[in-house]
Structure 1
């Protein structure tokens, strides 16, 4: 429909004109080290599939005031091109949107909402653990919990290369923890794969920490992912990782408003930040890694504030009950 293409166009314009640092998919690896292949076999790359709008080439007229606003923006963004809305078909609006997305005037740091969007952790042969805000429209209207729009890439190391260890899995269900209208509360989600996973040396589940286990501040844990390597930088093609200390609640950034089932880690120049959202924070316990947290949010990256992580221990009952009933 015409409105679909128009809304997509307006969303792109709003993205271009926005300079705020909202919640978003705002966690990435900063100051990290390049990982070796198979070092984090439970790490999952969650890819969003681009869906082409189903539109008909039927002329229609936009309100004059809206046309003037969009034309003014286009003239400023593309001074060398005569781009005007005027009277357009939905198909033409779609082509214009593609111009907006591919033009050099569009920041390369803006999300394209396709390809790698978030990380997750394989916790058994058919379930992946991630963050609610990766799929929640309360984070961004372009996100979705429609399972058909996502794939889980297992055994991945290089996002652009193939080494034979990768396995792509369709997703049958995405279950976000309530409340759905509050992103920062219970920021956890479960993803059910369409088919069970065949474990290999490069694809293996991570054990989850239990409420009976205690981790003291100062304990060094690890976070890995493909996120940006510097604040407002570019995404890493290969997995990077960092080792960071757990922080006490009093050492958390007060502006992050950490709740009962969250904790903080980092606080130095190494941090997890954009496109690492949903990935696991893992700690060594008796020589074996187990997952303690999920990358959730933070203020800036690697600037001394520390990141906020969803505490797996406080949600273990929900995880087990949700998997059992689905």
Structure 2
């Protein structure tokens, strides 16, 4: 090796003392043995695999990550949103997260700091990458080590190549997370095919698809690995960012729920027959016929109220309506996401959007146009002025803003990563915009109930 030294000005010789530091370039090692015909990995087969944990929630791993140095783990930028950095930790060297005894290399490292890409966009998912630094050193061993970064593959598209995704995520939408580390092979597809499904797909992203195979809930932030055929090393070429429902049958035809509408039980408790109900969708001003081309009315086939609904306390104030025919999705009509990924959130101090055609003042006329208001979610402990508040309910309060009459049954929307989630159903409150908080049914408490009453439906889950 030859090193040339250049001085900034004329010199007449002298000594230069140099210190060479050995850099550990061991990366991308994996155990070769695989479980034949299965999807479970060998214990520590992927030493670079990590899990991102919120230690305060007690919910375990909520996102994947990949070790790149003794102090750094790369994940998706959207993963830490809504989490306090003081509660975040990185789990390394583990396999079965329910036992804690299957791997001698398992260790938990607190997160000291993190860097989210400065151009990350929550609306387009572009630059969905973040680096977390651990407070303590990640000790490398045969069960824990760094992945190789793909410097040698700059410009490679990987189209037609099968990558491996690993994670502790669920194996189907709405299911519990896996206790063991799983892997799945996913081929990279042509960007042109992917852009038919995702209008914002960009050259900085990579798209995978295999019928019946996919990443799923809680796999976000996890790796897409490429194993070099010649040297056997594992390279990180992608980070799981977003998608439609888990393992859809076609990348351009995501499976969604076409038949069901959520509302409050008190809205329909006195309706004698579903034949008396209709659902208006895609409308803006219901007094005109030409303000939107997407307006459509659907007859209701059935009403399912929660069997434990209490009209006095408004406990379990939730109902599901089923239309007689499929609703047609258009640019102006489509499904909301249910908050499967947020079942352990309390949403305290977050803002939600509420939409409706209700009155704008107590006793006033209803609005002919759809209106929305942004409200602050408050902790249930701070909701003391409202009555009958339980863990299955959610409170909102913003001075001078509120839902009002005829907004009941409407949604509380949480803006997520390129998606909107419904986290509440307007239930009850005091006078409009009064000093008393308003109370909504907390959707995360009823996800299992919703699925049990809509067994013939599937949902957008991310």
TM class, shorter-length: 0.5 to 0.7
* In structure 2, distance between residues paired with 1:186 and 1:235: 26
Q: Deviations over 1:290-325 (max 9, x none)?
A: 010000000111113459xxxxxxxxxxxxxxxxxx
* Distance in 1 (alpha carbons) for counterparts of 2:105 and 2:55: 21
Q: Deviations over 1:253-296 (max 9, x none)?
A: 62323112101012321101110100110011232110100000
Which of 261, 268, 271 aligns to 2:214? It is: 271
Segments of structure 1 that go 5 or more residues without pairing to the other structure are 1-30, 51-111, 137-142, 308-326
**Residues 190-221 of structure 1: CA distance to partner in whole angstroms, max 9, x if unpaired?**
00011221101110100111263524311111
1:168 is aligned to: 108
Is residue 164 of structure 2 the alignment partner of residue 216 of structure 1? no
Across the aligned residues of Structure 1 and Structure 2, the Cα RMSD in angstroms comes to 2.1
Judging by fraction of residues, say which structure has more helix: 1
Structure 2: runs of 5 or more not aligned: 1-36, 253-462
Larger Rg, first or second structure (1 or 2)? 2
Residue 180 of structure 1 and its aligned partner are, at CA, apart by 5.1
- Which residue in the other structure is 2:40 paired with? 34
Residue 72 of structure 2 corresponds to residue 127 of structure 1: yes
Which residue pairs with 1:45 in the alignment?
Answer: 51
Q: CA deviation at 1:181?
A: 5.4
The size of the alignment, in residue pairs, is 209
1:244 aligns with 2:183: no
Tell me how far apart the structure 2 counterparts of residues 243 and 181 of structure 1 sit (CA, whole Å). 28
Partner Cα distance (1:250, 1:130) in 2: 26
Q: Distance in 2 between matches of 1:155 and 1:41?
A: 6
- Matched-pair contact (CA < 8 Å) for 1:129–1:190: yes
Q: Cα deviation per residue 1:98-142 (whole Å; 9 max; x = unaligned)?
A: xxxxxxxxxxxxxx6842110100001110000001012xxxxxx
Pick aligned residue for 1:117 from 43, 49, 62: 62
Residue 193 of structure 1: which of 134, 154, 161 is its match? 134
What's the counterpart of residue 321 of structure 1? none
238-247 or 254-263, which moves further after superposition? 254-263
Using the size of structure 2 for normalisation, the TM-score is 0.43
Q: Judge conservation of contact 1:123–1:207 (CA < 8 Å) in 2.
A: yes
Q: In 2, distance between residues paired with 1:220 and 1:180?
A: 27
Q: TM-score, normalised by structure 1?
A: 0.60
- Residue 273 of structure 1 aligns to a residue in which SS? coil
- Find the aligned partners of 2:251 and 2:41 in 1 and give their Cα distance: 22
1:98-117 to structure 2, matched below 5 A, reads 114-117=59-62
Judge conservation of contact 1:252–1:306 (CA < 8 Å) in 2.
Answer: yes
Kindly tell me: are residues 299 and 219 of structure 1, through their superposed partners in 2, closer, same or farther at Cα, counting changes over 3 Å? same
